[in-house]
Structure 1
């Protein structure tokens, strides 16, 4: 048995030349920081979808070595903004980590 599909009388259908799948704004922001003895890690993500978008992702990771100790610092900041018509979405994230690692106590003196 064979089946046939007949499509006819579609003159009322209009051809669409433009489309926009985004109905509302969507914004996501995420940050991660991790530090330890001699290392620092900073990650930032900002993502925005919409007709008008703004994103900003900043990181700073540094390790400073001193004679008797090591300082590890990590900062991550992310902001995202999205707008489509009257729908608005905003997101932000901030993360900071600090590590202070003493390598030698022999040079410290205390007195009472």
Structure 2
């Protein structure tokens, strides 16, 4: 999984062409689907993620680590130049965290299977 980064478009196009060639050379059938969900990480519900981790038998210590990581996520909103008090994030994955892309894939896999 790759998120958009400046200057990486050429690499993504080359990877897609390589994937298509592999499917064609192997005489396999396949479909390539591109999805671009706006604010994708921001849409992940924490309770849903924890439920998936439990259903799919992730170790308890891993689930607790993810929960602790999300417990620390807080945000503030600037309205008319004034910051609101801190609020605990109820959903969303941390941008830039290496684990976030894998947690997002878990959620997407559940949606794919449903």
Asked whether the two chains share a fold, i.e. TM above 0.5, the reply is: no
Structure with greater strand percent: 1
Could you state the TM-score of these two structures normalised by the residue count of structure 2? Answer: 0.21
Could you state the TM-score of these two structures normalised by the residue count of structure 1? Answer: 0.21
Larger radius of gyration: 1
